[in-house]
């Protein structure tokens, strides 16, 4: 299959949506927890989380255009500036996926999907109790992208994870807690470590012609 620009534009809408959403491969699967100033919390599945830097520790994520009304996740982040990132593991994939439903504001995904809340220290936004890796974020900036989506930049201000998951180099063993990834909008994949390689220095590049 070879598709040029005109072919892509002429694809059936749902086919194009699925193709372009899955073409980047496996994406991180996370639940984003937020709470409004009137204490109504919200939980939503996101697959757009990206690493921006380690010092300062920053992550970015993309939310859809807010032109037809500000969604709860974005509205809550704008209200108080805090949100949580929670890794999704195999045991609660189904519950996590159904948080994508467009519930009325008075209903919390935590309650409807029977997901237990967790609160850590004095962090205002709720975490997912079952998630092995929990990250507390503070909003820094929102940037509107050319397609109307919003790129949310945040700083990591809290991390909660079991000591046993982190090796002496600081690397997290993602396979140890059945972390999953997302392809497209609704396909979930196992993550299995294949191998690891050292930091690449020019004088240590192997001879790939041997």
pLDDT tens, per residue, the chain with 210 residues: 999 998 999 999 999 999 998 998 999 999 999 999 999 999 999 999 999 999 999 999 999 887 776 788 999 999 999 999 999 999 999 999 999 998 888 899 999 999 999 999 999 999 999 999 999 999 999 999 999 999 999 999 999 999 999 999 999 999 999 999 999 888 999 988 889 888 899 988 888 987
Q: What is the pLDDT of residue 70?
A: 73
Whether the CB-CB separation of 101 and 55 falls below 8 Å is answered with no
Residue 156's beta-bridge partner residues? Answer: 137
For residue range 77-93, what is the model confidence (pLDDT) as tens digits?
999 999 999 999 999 99
CATH number given to 26-194 = 2.30.110.10
Query: Residue 102 and residue 42: Cα distance in Å, rounded?
Result: 11
27-28 β-sheet, strand order? 27-28, 180-183, 187-190
3-state SS assignment for residue 14: helix
Place of tokens 């599945």: 45
SS3 for 101-168, per residue? Answer: CCCCCCCCHHHHCCCCEECCCCCCCCEECCCCCEEEEEEEEEEECCCCCEEEEEEEEEEECCHHHECC
Query: Residue 164 and residue 159: Cα distance in Å, rounded?
Result: 14
Count of CB atoms situated within 10 Å of the CB of 125: 25
Cα-based distances in Å from 118 to 76, 165, 203: 18, 19, 48
Whether the CB-CB separation of 65 and 150 falls below 8 Å is answered with yes
Residue extents of the structural domains in the chain:
26-194
Query: Residue 135 and residue 84: Cα distance in Å, rounded?
Result: 6
Using the 8-state DSSP alphabet, how is residue 198 labeled? P
The sign of the torsion formed by the CA atoms of 196, 170, 97, 81 equals: negative
Using the 8-state DSSP alphabet, how is residue 194 labeled? -
Q: What is the pLDDT of residue 134?
A: 98
Place of tokens 């992208």: 145
């Amino acid at each position: 299959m070879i598709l040029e620009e005109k072919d892509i534009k002429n694809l059936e809408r749902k086919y194009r949506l699925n193709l372009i959403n899955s073409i980047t491969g496996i994406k991180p699967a996370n639940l984003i927890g937020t709470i409004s100033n009137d204490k109504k919390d919200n939980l939503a599945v996101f697959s757009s989380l990206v690493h921006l830097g380690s010092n300062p520790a920053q992550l970015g994520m993309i939310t859809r255009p807010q032109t037809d009304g500000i969604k709860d996740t974005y509205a809550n982040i704008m209200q108080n500036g805090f949100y949580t990132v929670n890794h999704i593991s195999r045991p609660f994939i189904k519950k996590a996926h159904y948080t994508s439903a467009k519930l009325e504001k008075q209903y919390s995904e935590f309650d409807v999907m029977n997901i237990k809340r967790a609160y850590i220290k004095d962090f205002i936004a709720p975490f997912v109790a079952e998630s092995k890796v929990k990250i507390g974020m503070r909003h820094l900036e929102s940037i509107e992208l050319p397609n109307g989506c919003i790129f949310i930049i945040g700083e990591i201000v809290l991390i909660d994870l079991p000591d046993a998951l982190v090796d002496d180099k600081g690397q997290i063993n993602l396979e140890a807690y059945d972390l999953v990834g997302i392809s497209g909008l609704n396909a979930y994949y196992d993550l299995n470590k294949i191998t690891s390689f050292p930091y690449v220095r020019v004088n240590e590049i192997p001879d790939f012609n041997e």
